Structure 1
Amino acid sequence: MSDETLLSKVLRDEDRLLALRRTGLLDTSPEETFDRLTRMVCRLLGVPAALVSLVEADRQFFKSAVGLPQPWLLRRETSLLHSFCQHVVAAGEPLLVQDAGHHPLLSGNLAISELGVVAYLGMPLITPDGHTLGALCAIHTEPRAWTSGDAAALRDLAAVTMSEMTLRRLVVEMVERGRREAAEHEATKARVRRLEALRRLADGVGHDLAGVMQAVQSGVRLAGARLGHDPATAQSILALVNDVARRGGAVAQRLTAFAPRGELRPEAVEVAP
């Protein structure tokens, strides 16, 4: 299978595209939660631009974009002719490019001439069930030799980004499930469905919240490495981690909406019968 065929197959995978749509992030307005992450990428890696890029079958949408030239910063999307991130999605692995003009895979990409992308470091955004939705990437307008420290920092921030996306998906699913159950009119059947829904949801949430905790650990590790020589950055990272942890706690609390409610009434019971 050629590289181009493999790229098309991965990008058009229906399960991956469904997982991408289920995030509820496509074509939504900028949000401070994600913009703080891209600003943090620029600050930690010393680059002029950073993106949270969600890759569909024929375009990439920027949930957050910092430092892109106009009109791309306003449009917040490009075709795949301008995309390095599609190759991160296809491989499901990081992509390090020191000078795109001399890269065999990217030298003809329009992102070089129209977006000014020369050096690129992209980390995949992978769901707990293995679907790569896009990339968190750092961009420089000049050639750059990325270090292992650069890659480690971006990997930790990608984990925080993915945890935020996972929390969003959980909230969307719980709201949708709540709406469906509100429409149910048969009390007994609705209660059975509620319990079954809670069981299935708890199975998934347990796995997803484990990913959130991994992101918290990554953020704490990243902050700890900078606490001594760069306390201001460490505090900013810890603020991101605290926000992720708070959102995870909120999701856990919302699970109680699916638990059966009722008053506990002790009664005397004849055991033998």
Structure 2
Amino acid sequence: MDFGKISERGLVLLGCGKMGSALLQGWLAGGLSPDAVYVIDPNPSDWVLAQAVHVNQPLPENPAVVLVAVKPQMMGGALPQLQSYGGGNTLFVSVAAGTLIASYEAVLGAATPIVRTMPNTPAAVGRGITAICGNAHTTAAHLDTTQALMSAVGQVVRLDGEHQMDAVTAVSGSGPAYVFHLIEALAAAGHAQGLAPDLAMQLARATVCGAGELAYQASETAAQLRINVTSPGGTTAAALEVLMDAETGFPPLLRRAVQAAADRGRELGK
């Protein structure tokens, strides 16, 4: 990973909870010098303190990047302390859910390059996916830098604009919770068929995790993978007849769920 100007000018990480720590771990593993990182966090973990980064120490005069990883409700008190970096020379990258680019511009100035990102919780194990988009003052180089930083925790995709962020949040941001609930529901269904609860959960969890890994590694589409395990007239076909029902199955259910999440995101962004 080529950190370029970050190594020379430094990176300020505002907030080092689960997401911030996952990113920091990836950057350090990718070759970023701990001496180039400045962490601002009121309650840094023992792990962070052991990384030889600057923790709650004087900040660099002109950092290349400020990455904001605090919770949205903490933004009002945390961001103003970095207001002096606004204006164009420092790139601001946000991983705060639901915080609009306009909210940053109001504090930092409209001329500040700002990239909004939406990672998801599998970033904690290096298997996340992050969507990114920038304001009018971000350049191709700014987006490249952001992609390099967020690649530390998984895949990165670029959006056409911030208007797509609510849909991304509804699909990949909230999506892990849908999968976790699928595991719960599948285990409960197995228990209803006579399996012990612990065994049903072990089977459901391993099946969902294994299928996810197969989908990740396989070159076939998800549809083809489904076809591969479905024998005509067999048990899987019988189950899919229920799950793929146009009125009561997965497709309409997930459309409603994703729509509800996207609508709520738009409400929170107002």
Query: TM-score scaled by structure 1?
Result: 0.29
Higher relative contact order (CA 8 A, sep 6+): 1
Query: TM-score scaled by structure 2?
Result: 0.29
